[in-house]
Amino acid sequence: MTEYDYWKIFPKMPKKITIGDITVRDGFQHEEKFISTEAKKFYLEELIFAGCRHIEVTNLGNPHLMPQFRDAEELLIHLRGERFREKCSRKGINYDDISLTCVTIRESAVDRAIKLKEKGIGPDRLLMMVSTEEEHHFANSGTTLPDYWKEAERCIKKCTDAGIKMNGTVSTIWGSPIGGATNMRDAIEFTKRWLEIGASDVEHADHDGSASAPDIYRYFSMVLDEIPDPRFHIAHFHETKRVGAASVLAALQAGMVNFEAALGGLGGQPANFLDDCPVKGTGEYYYEDPRYVGLVTLEDTLVQIDEMGIQHGWDVDRILWLGKKLERTMGRRLRSEAILNGRTLKEGHMEYARPGLAKRKEKLGEAPSQKLPAEWGEMAVLPERCRVSR
pLDDT in 10s for each residue of the chain, 390 residues: 789 999 999 999 999 999 999 999 999 999 999 999 999 999 999 999 999 999 999 999 999 999 999 999 999 999 999 999 999 999 999 999 999 999 999 999 999 999 999 999 999 999 999 999 999 999 989 999 999 999 999 999 999 999 999 999 999 999 998 999 999 999 999 999 999 999 999 999 998 888 999 999 999 999 999 999 999 999 999 988 889 999 999 999 999 999 999 999 999 889 999 999 999 998 888 877 777 789 999 999 999 999 999 999 999 999 999 999 999 999 999 999 999 988 888 888 889 999 999 999 999 999 999 999 999 999 999 999 898 877
Asked if residue 3 is part of any domain, the answer here is: no
What is the Cα gyration radius of the chain? 24
Asked if residue 362 is part of any domain, the answer here is: no
Decide: residue 352, CB within 10 A, 0-12 exposed, 13-18 middle, 19+ buried: exposed
Q: According to the model, what pLDDT value does residue 348 have?
A: 82
SS (H, E, C) 175-191: CECCCECCCHHHHHHHH
Asked if residue 210 is part of any domain, the answer here is: yes
For 86-153, give the DSSP string. Answer: HHHHHTT--GGG-EEEEE--SHHHHHHHHHHHHTT---SEEEEEEESSHHHHHHHHSS-HHHHHHHHH
Asked if residue 9 is part of any domain, the answer here is: no
**Helix H or strand E encompassing 376:** none
- Rounded (5°) CA angle 127-58-124: 55
Cα 6 from chain centroid (whole Å): 24
The residues that bridge with 277 in the sheet, in sequence order, are 274
The residues that bridge with 235 in the sheet, in sequence order, are 204, 259
For 14-72, give the DSSP string. Answer: -SB-EEEE-IIIIIHHT-SSPPPHHHHHHHHHHHHHTT--EEEEEE-S-TTT-GGGTTH
Q: According to the model, what pLDDT value does residue 299 have?
A: 98
Q: Tell me if 272 sits within 8 A of 246, measured CB to CB.
A: no
User: Can you tell me the distance from the alpha carbon of 154 to that of 279, in angstroms, rounded to the nearest whole number?
Assistant: 30
Q: How many CB atoms lie within 10 A of CB 12?
A: 14
Q: How many CB atoms lie within 10 A of CB 156?
A: 22
User: Can you tell me the distance from the alpha carbon of 197 to that of 175, in angstroms, rounded to the nearest whole number?
Assistant: 25
**Taking the C-alpha atoms of 156, 158, 160 and 162 in order, what is their torsion angle to the nearest 10 degrees?**
-140
Q: Tell me if 135 sits within 8 A of 179, measured CB to CB.
A: yes
User: Domain residues for 209?
Assistant: 15-341
Give the amino acid at 346.
K
Q: According to the model, what pLDDT value does residue 208 have?
A: 83
Q: Tell me if 176 sits within 8 A of 182, measured CB to CB.
A: yes
Q: How many residues does the chain have?
A: 390
Q: Tell me if 17 sits within 8 A of 312, measured CB to CB.
A: yes
Ramachandran assignment for 126, one of left (phi > 0), alpha (psi -120 to 50 degrees), beta (any other): beta
Asked if residue 371 is part of any domain, the answer here is: no
Q: What is the DSSP letter of 377?
A: -
- The domain total for the chain is 1
Decide: residue 113, CB within 10 A, 0-12 exposed, 13-18 middle, 19+ buried: buried
Asked if residue 390 is part of any domain, the answer here is: no
Asked if residue 10 is part of any domain, the answer here is: no
Looking from the CA of 251 toward its CB, the CA atoms found within 13 Å total 27
User: Can you tell me the distance from the alpha carbon of 28 to that of 34, in angstroms, rounded to the nearest whole number?
Assistant: 9
Asked if residue 389 is part of any domain, the answer here is: no
Q: Tell me if 324 sits within 8 A of 292, measured CB to CB.
A: no
Domain harbouring 127, CATH code: 3.20.20.70
φ, ψ dihedrals at 24, nearest 5°? -75, -25
